[in-house]
Amino acid sequence: EREKNIMTGVLGLKTKKISDIMTHLIDVFMLEADRVVDDELVLTVHGYGYSRIPVYEKQRDNIIGLVNIRDFALLDTESGKFTVRSVMNFYKHRYGKVIMSDDSCYDVFNQLKKEQYHLGIVAEHDSSSKKDPKPRAIGIVTLEDIIEEMIQEEIIDE
Ligand code: ADP
C-alpha cells in the first residue's frame, strides 16, 4: 500500500503545480531588512526554528535575500548596531532559487536538485522575468515540501 502511494505521489509531481504545495507568503516567517537585531528578535527566530529566513524590504513580497538561524548565534545584541540587513550582507547566503508559480513540482524538484538549492522563492509568472533577481514573491518551497508530496506523508522535523 505504501509503495502504491509513493508511485501515485511521484507520478502526480508532473501534473501538480508548485503553487499547489508551496508555503504561502502569509505563512512564511520573514524578517524586515532594517529591523535591529535585539534579544527579542533572536528569541523569535529560535521560537520559529526555521533554518532559512527570507529577508524583505518594505513589502513582504519584495524578498531581497536570506539569513540562516545560525547567523544569530554569537551575535552581540546589546550594542543595537546590527540590523537584519547587516547580518545578511555579512554571511551572504545565496538567494533562493527563483521558481515560477506554474512550474510543475517535478520540474521544480529538478531545478532545486540540479543547482543544489534547498529553498525556492515562488514568483508569479506574469509579474517577473526569470532574470529578475527580486521577483514578486507569493510563497516559498523547499525540497522537503516536494518530498512530502512524493511520499504522500508528513515529514516530522526534529
Ligand atoms: P527547516 O530546515 O527550516 O526545518 P524545511 O526545508 O525542512 O525547513 O521545510 C519544512 C517546512 O517548513 C516546509 O513546508 C517549508 O516550506 C517550511 N518553511 C521553511 N522555511 C520557512 C520559513 N522561513 N517560514 C515558514 N515556513 C518555512
- By C-alpha distance, which of 124, 60, 67, 126 is closest to 98? 124
Which pLDDT value is given to residue 69?
97
Dump pLDDT digits (tens) for 92-139. Answer: 999 999 999 999 999 999 999 999 999 999 998 654 455 555 568 999
- Residue 25 C-alpha cell reads as 507568503
**Quick check: ipTM above 0.95?**
yes
Task: Give me ligand 1 centre to Cα 50, in Å.
Answer: 6
Residues whose CB is less than 8 angstroms from the CB of residue 103 and which lie 6 or more positions away in sequence, other chains included = 17, 18, 111
Which pLDDT value is given to residue 125?
60
What residue's CA is closest to ligand 1, atom 15? Answer: 142
Atom from ligand 1 closest to the CA of residue 22:
16
Task: Give me ligand 1 centre to Cα 69, in Å.
Answer: 12
Spatial strand order of the sheet with 97-100 comes to: 23-24, 137-142, 119-123, 97-100
Q: CA–CA separation, 105 vs 30, rounded Å?
A: 23
The pick from 18, 50, 121 for probing ligand 1's pocket by mutation, whose C-beta has the most ligand atoms within 8 angstroms, reads 50
Dump pLDDT digits (tens) for 71-81. Answer: 998 888 888 88
- Residue 111 C-alpha cell reads as 531545478
Atom from ligand 1 closest to the CA of residue 142:
6
Residues in the chain: 158
Q: Taking a C-beta distance cutoff of 8 angstroms, is the pair 97, 115 a contact?
A: yes
- By C-alpha distance, which of 86, 75, 92, 63 is closest to 38? 75
Q: What is the pTM of this model?
A: 0.89
What residue's CA is closest to ligand 1, atom 14? Answer: 145
The pick from 19, 25, 142 for probing ligand 1's pocket by mutation, whose C-beta has the most ligand atoms within 8 angstroms, reads 142
